[in-house]
Structure 1
């Protein structure tokens, strides 16, 4: 009988787990939030991931539950564990991905390098932090933000007055120093419940308007020391938080060669999409192997360079699929991945990947292929 893996969430990450699940002989099932989502091909149930009865009913027919996102409430996660369901990553680890304040406190406890930060609940607290950190800072809502949402760069408490006014009596916001970084990097680690792990090469990510636009693997100009430091950080966080499955650690590199932890994601991540076609074992297969406690695959690159370019927004004049032949004709080596989403400004509707021996050529051709999906 095939192992049954249940994925909570019907987005593009679940969609991209379907093919490797089939290749591994797994019975993959998806709890989608609504019909017609990206992972509709494997949607065996539709319902609210915040509803305990819905999630329990879904989980009873699978061997392991994993996730397309980190938003399933703690009470639901812990109820699953209490019912004997194998949940990976587990609630204790996901707690730190769900709450940025708790994440910062735990990373400090683990001795991880991070920006200066504080929890604030009023304008006076924010102003004091601004005064101590150069007059500008990043304010984040502790829960629910992604792709630039729930994040503001401010120089005055007035710029987040609405967030402060909306806080519960015991509520807090996270404020961080505005890091003067030279570039953004990401380190991915896969870890099994039995404890073994594999680390991918550190990659460079390029953000536009708070959304990942490009990834280069491995990160250019990343010497052995930087690569080793990034890997040590990633492994220490995976082990310190008890993460099972894929972990992505977003990092700032500073002018004085420091690495600072920015964000965490306990699932396949945009910074790892390059690995679908550019690594011996892609992140989606690796995540499935990890959560099922199967032997982990080789994360080594297949070529000297791999580049991933997100398709943001997508064409509105004709279907996305109509542009694919044009991109493939112009760039035969490119791989196109679409998410089954309707286009809208800034929305991730797909990505392209390309590998090769010369970085400038790979970047140019990948961007050229992605440009076919712009209007």
Structure 2
């Protein structure tokens, strides 16, 4: 009997990290990669080259596949709808995926579901943004985001005057750029994330809520579980994740990123409908990794246990520097350090891999993880 084929759009590190899980589950992974040397193409045998918006490439990708899924959201919904109408399982489906593709659509739907969000407005002009700024509490500032296409801090600006996004308004007006979303500048104490998996038949599981530390708009480290998190707040975060997954009809892994305010209030920041950076710790720190769980979910298989294997897991991203040494540094790392490199060319600030350390003492685990990442990056700890 032939192994079920899971077709994946996107050849980055997320697809690459699905490969070991697919092998363990006896699945055939087929990945549409951007080029023959992309991260996933280096480890996946069946890796056709093509663009995610090319209908011919997508048609070839899904031929004989049991399901189509994604490692990024940048796929035209019209093509996905056409595939779904022909009976090809697409998970998450286009009606759900649009909420990760368009931030205005996301905010509108989350507000309708009663999910707590920052104060927001779609702004079409400088006057509209000026009115939003005039209503700000505290500092007269707002976070302006392009509704589509932004990630890792791109497409996001903190502004105090509409002139600071004049170029974005001009691009939106001419159709060369995306519409704009304005959100209040939230005085949060830290960022949390909850990872949820949901299968088409309705089963839902969540992993422990984590703390996500961002630097320059890029995730730098993740601590699982989030330290000193009130159990009631953790339960609320998990419930928000379940509400979003069920309310949007998400299938597969969903990441819900949140702000925690000084009074313990939670506000949803961003969504990702795929394995996510905040869940990389699960490869080494949880009974079931987010990558195995995503494959289980999109195939409607029973979901795996999500409990942590150790009291603490700390994941540190390996970001490119001018002096990155990468694999040359591996002999210098301790036996308890788990290293995952993505096969990417070195470029300053680029996510080249991550390290994870687990254990029963948070300070020791965090110090070892930071030192290991610094060693791999070729910088001082």
The whole-number CA distance in structure 2 between the counterparts of 1:271 and 1:374 is 20
Q: Secondary structure at the match of 1:45?
A: coil
The separation in 1 between residues aligned to 2:48 and 2:186, in whole angstroms, is 43
Matched, 1:323 2:324: no
Q: Is residue 136 of structure 2 the alignment partner of residue 135 of structure 1?
A: no
Distance 1:369 1:100 in 2: 36
Q: How does 1:243-282 map to 2 (within 5 A)?
A: 243-282=250-289
Q: Find the aligned partners of 2:86 and 2:17 in 1 and give their Cα distance.
A: 28
Please list the CA deviations of residues 111-138 of structure 1 after superposition, one character each: whole Å capped at 9, or x if unmatched. 0000000000111110111110141000
The aligned residue for residue 156 of structure 1 is 161
Shift of 1:316: 4.1
Aligned mates of 1:374, 1:25 — CA distance in 2: 34
Q: Is the 8 A contact 1:314 1:373 kept in 2?
A: no
Deviations 1:186-227 (A, max 9, x none): 001000010101011100000000000000000001121011
2:243 match: 236
Once the two structures are overlaid, the 10-residue window that deviates more, 352-361 or 128-137, is 128-137
Taking the aligned partners of 2:219 and 2:174, their CA distance within structure 1 comes to 34
Inter-partner Cα distance in structure 2 for 1:374 and 1:286:
30
Q: Which runs of 5+ in 1 are unaligned?
A: none
Deviation sequence 1:145-190 (CA, Å, 0-9, x none): 0000000000000110000111136863100000000000000100
Is contact 2:196–2:242 with CA below 8 Å preserved after alignment?
yes
Q: Distance in 2 between matches of 1:243 and 1:266?
A: 7
The 1-side partners of 2:171 and 2:231 are apart by: 47
Q: CA shift at 1:374, angstroms?
A: 2.6
The number of equivalent residue pairs is: 371
Find 2:204's aligned residue among 197, 204, 213: 197
TM-superposed deviation, 1:343: 1.0
> 1:355, 1:317 → 2: CA distance?
24
Does 1:99 find its partner at 2:106?
no
Query: Per-residue CA shift, 1:234-289, capped at 9, x if unaligned?
Result: 00000000000000000000011100000000000000000000000010000000
RMSD of aligned alpha carbons: 1.2
1:302 offset after TM fit, Å?
A: 0.2
Alpha-carbon contact 1:315-1:373 (below 8 Å) kept: no
Summarize the alignment of residues 1-375 of structure 1 with structure 2, pairs less than 5 Å apart. 1-40=2-41, 41-42=43-44, 43-133=46-136, 134-168=139-173, 172-314=179-321, 316=323, 318=325, 320-327=326-333, 331-375=334-378
| Separation in 2, partners of 1:317, 1:102 | 40
Unaligned runs of 5+ in 2: none
CA–CA distance in 2 between the matches of 1:288 and 1:316? 36
Q: 2-side partners of 1:179 and 1:311: how far apart?
A: 28
Checking the alignment, whether the CA contact within 8 Å between 1:308 and 1:351 is kept in structure 2 is yes
CA contact (8 A) 1:251 1:263 kept: yes
* 8 Å Cα contact 1:246/1:268 also seen in 2: yes
Asked if structure 1 preserves the Cα contact closer than 8 Å seen for 2:324 and 2:376, the reply is: no
CA distance in 1, matches of 2:159, 2:121: 15
Distance 1:326 1:79 in 2: 51
TM-score computed with the length of structure 1 as normaliser: 0.97
What CA distance in whole angstroms lies between the structure 1 residues aligned with 2:373 and 2:362? 16
